[in-house]
Amino acid sequence: MRMIHEGGERVDEITLATVAKATSCLVALEPGKQIHAHVIKTGYSLDLCVISGILDMYIKCGDMGSAHTVFSDIPAPDDVAWTTLISGCLENGDEGRSVSIYRQMRQSGVQPDEYTFATLVKAASCLTALEQGKQIHADAIKLELSLDPYVATSLVDMYAKCGNIEDAYRLFRRMDVRSIVLWNAMLVGLAQHGNAEEALDLFRVMKSNNVVPDRVTFIGVISACSHFGLVSEAYEHFSSMQRDYGVEPEIEHYSCLVDALGRAGRVQEAEKLIASMPFEASASMYRALLGVCRVQGDTETGKRVAEQLLAIEPSDSSAYVLISNMNAAANQWDAVNDARQMMKRKNVKKEPGFSWIDVKNKVHLFMVDDKSHPEADLIYDKLEDLMKRIGEEGYVPDTEFVLADVEEEEKERALYYHSERLAIAYGLISTPSSAIIRVIKNLRVCGDCHNAIKYISKVYQREIVVRDANRFHRFRNGSCSCGDYW
């Protein structure tokens, strides 16, 4: 900065590019703007290295408005400039825009490189857009960039996150040089799918290949144990992590362990562990425990945990929702109303549940009771037919999962139109009968839908993969890969 102001020394494009990068690392918008002004004044804004440094600076500072302006002023953006913008949209949570900017990039004739694909595949992974991800993969293969270590890791993660663990594995096996990040992506993918044994096997293979596990590896390993109910193994890995690998436990590791205890129903032990941590408790830990209390119907402990959660996050809608769910399950409708009143008073909004499905390269999103889809009539007919058929097969609606105090029959209908069922009904009518139906839901799948989907997989002989906020459920012939443990 002194160089700029004093003006005596030679400030060339290399210096400016370097300074712009330094500024973007510091995430300092004001000095960044000064450098930008100086770049314009001295005419260096036509230099691609300098201007993409400036672009990155705005992105890192979260000023996407300025970033788009800077980009649109670049006369002929090269691969680096395009990739910077694509990764900027991703970093700022606008993954859809990353993909559409990629399309513009292709139209402009600039060839993407391995950096572009690593970023872009991650965007598809965040969007859980399998079809788009596959298409991007195909592009990468055409340009012979799909086996780049970063691209391949992104692809493994993308396939795993989109519920296609087989393709993730296939790609993983093809890689003859495997970085720790690649191992971790595969391991975490397996853990999220509830394939705990495979995840733990992979962990052993990894160690026998002399790959040293790191902090992320242990997050995967402990969460694999957690998903499989292996509490003592979780504890063992937790202590081995420090003892054998010098990885200090972080709040994320505690969080996995708390989760493992909770899922095993050992809520009080989990509370003790939280109290003994060298960290402040996180809201997500209490949220996990609250979910356990609800599944177990332990209203007393649930209330205590909910209070602890609200002490950290007073406007956490999930606390209120879980409290009111528990009370609804116990038929304590006064308490349900109290929780609702309190939400109103504190102006806490319930996070709306929605599910989506990727059909023919297009994402179809459904809310509860949603009739906005162009094929809504067909979908609701299918749903009607479907509910009749699974009823004949023995499905009984469990109205415990309805949040309102309404009559029984009405309660049943409220369950019919949960967003995941709409998405599955659409999947049934819009995909070939042999295709796997893959649905993603932003919240945790409800117990009744979980049960209904088991029946649907049996009656229609369809494999259905549902990714909820927590993990994957793979429904086949009437049962789920989670073993009803989630």
Partner DNA sequence: CTAGGGTTAG
User: Partners of 355 in the beta sheet?
Assistant: 366, 441
Closer Cβ to DNA, 283 or 429, answer by number: 283
Q: How far is the CB of 273 from DNA (least distance, A)?
A: 16
For residues 24, 26, 31, 34, the Cα torsion angle rounded to the nearest 10 degrees is -10
Task: Lay out the site mask for DNA across 57-86 (x = CB under 7 A, - = otherwise).
Answer: ---------------------xxxxxxx--
Out of 4, 32, 38, 52, point to the residue binding DNA (CB under 7 A): 52
Part of the chain binding DNA (CB under 7 A), chosen from 28-36, 181-189, 369-377, 435-443: 181-189
* CA distances, 73 to each of 40, 55, 97, 455 (Å): 11, 11, 18, 56
For tokens 């549902």, the residue is 466
Tokens for 344? Answer: 């109103």
Q: Is residue 188 within the footprint of DNA (CB under 7 A)?
A: yes
* Shortest Å, Cβ 126 to DNA: 8
Asked if 185 touches DNA (CB under 7 A), the answer is: yes
For position 117 contacting DNA by CB under 7 A, the verdict is yes
* Of 181 and 403, CB closest to DNA: 181
Quick check: 375 binds DNA (CB under 7 A)?
no
Q: To the nearest whole angstrom, how small is the minimum distance from the Cβ of residue 90 to DNA? A: 7
216 scored as a contact of DNA (CB under 7 A): yes
Residue 128 binding DNA, by CB under 7 A: no
Asked whether position 220 contacts DNA by CB under 7 A, the answer is yes
Using CB under 7 A, which of 45, 146, 164, 223 touches DNA?
223
Residues 276-335 that bind DNA (CB under 7 A): 284
- What letter does residue 112 receive in the DSSP assignment? P
CB of 185 to DNA, least distance (A): 4
Compute and round to an integer the Cα radius of gyration of the chain. 25
Which of 20, 221, 328, 339 contacts DNA by CB under 7 A? 20
Contact flag: residue 94 with DNA (CB under 7 A) = no
- In whole angstroms, what is the distance from residue 84 CA to residue 24 CA? 12
Q: Biggest alpha carbon distance in the chain?
A: 86
- Provide the 8-state DSSP code for 44: G
Residue 104 Cα distances to 94, 116, 117, 164, angstroms: 16, 13, 14, 28
Is the CB of residue 61 less than 8 Å from the CB of residue 27? yes
Say if CB 229 and CB 264 are below 8 A apart.
Answer: yes
Does residue 14 interact with DNA by CB under 7 A? yes
- Does position 18 interact with DNA (CB under 7 A)? The reply is yes
Using DSSP's 3-state secondary structure scheme, residue 466 falls into strand
Site for DNA in 253-282 (CB under 7 A): 255
- DSSP for 203-262, written as a single string: HHHHHHTTPPP-HHHHHHHHHHHHHTT-HHHHHHHHHHHHHHH-----HHHHHHHHHHHH
Q: Which is nearer to DNA, 94 or 412 (CB)?
A: 94
**Residue 3 binds DNA, judged by CB under 7 A:** no
Binding residues (CB under 7 A) for DNA: these are 13-14, 17-18, 20-21, 24, 47-53, 56, 78-84, 87, 90, 112-119, 122, 125, 148-151, 153-154, 157, 161, 179-182, 184-185, 188, 214-216, 219-220, 223, 252, 255, 284
